[in-house]
Chain A
Amino acid sequence: MNVMIDDETLDRQLREATPYIDDEGFTARVMARLPAAPREPRWLRAMILLGLALLGSGIAYLLGGGFIREGVTQLSDFPIWLLLVFAFGCGLVVGAFAVIVAVRKTPEVRDVARLRF
């Protein structure tokens, strides 16, 4: 008389009866059909940068003259150690900002550090 197999054996046999299906180009075919990643064209980036540079120049020109000259003159009257501290502080802020941007744009580093900004 035949005895029915138990659940565990059946499940194991089902799993073992299903072989791993080799990729054989399947992933490449899927990748080829993926829609292109939406990304603004290079010329648009260049135009934005150029526009911002022109805008910045215009603002600097308009604000120039007395205001800027006065500020530089006052700064030159500061003691040298204060100017050094000021320059060092500015460097730290800009450096920290640059590191944050670099980490954000580098997935490998972000994954390792598990940082979320």
Chain B
Amino acid sequence: MELTDADLIARVLADDDQHAFGELVRRHQSSVRGLLRQLTRTDVALADDLAQETFLRAYKNIRSFRGEARFSTWVYRIAYNCFREDARKRKELVGVDDELLQAEHDPQTVDPGLRHDLMHALSLLPLHERTAVVLCCQNGLSHDEAARVLNIPLGTVKTNVLRGREKLKRSLAAWGPN
């Protein structure tokens, strides 16, 4: 029987079980690293550094996780805060790296050309729209959860998702049904 996230968190809290925390990291590393790659515009090294920092902070502050939201939502919030702090320190965001985009594994179901255009269009969105689109459309968070992650009003999230979607659709119009 596979343990739920809540079971694993209970083990970390009760016994300081680092193996249980390791299982949580294994489960969520892909989505957290994916989110940070989008936020850093595919700077893989920076995204992974931030992802490591995210999980370290999650471990240190796991007692403040009250279980009201999903563990993934809580970790996304930490990841977003890590990204914001780093961006503030750097005072600049890195540009799009096409080589890194192409170096990722090509999914089997999406045309590589469409995928490239989609990821490129996504990376060109303003940060607030990109973040909202990645959280809601890509990672499946509800608007409410995304609002909690980003610490902004629900209406703002909805607006950002709507605008981001429209821009992506316009960018990908050539790939649409003809």
Contact = CB atoms under 8 A, between A and B. Distances in A.
Contacts of A37: 16, 18
A31 B176 contact: no
Interface string B51-73: 11001100110000000000000
Interface in A1-48: 1-5, 7, 10-11, 13-23, 26-27, 29-31, 33-35, 37-39
A17 B175 CA distance: 14
A107 interface: yes
Interface in B1-54: 1, 3, 7, 10-11, 14-18, 20-22, 25-26, 29-30, 33-34, 37, 48, 51-52
Interface string A92-117: 00000000000000010011100000
Contacts of A15: 137-138, 140
A26 B56 contact: no
Interface in A49-103: none
Contacts of B16: 37-39
Contact of B173 (A4, A18, A21, A107): A4
B138 A107 contact: no
Given A4-B176, A5-B169, A13 B26 contact: no
Contact of B51 (A16, A26, A111, A112): A26
B114 interface: yes
B59 A2 contact: no
A115 to B, nearest CB: 11
Nearest to B27: A27
16 contacts: A2-B174, A3-B173, A4-B170, A4-B172, A5-B169, A11-B137, A11-B138, A13-B115, A14-B168, A17-B110, A21-B37, A26-B51, A27-B22, A29-B52, A30-B22, A38-B16
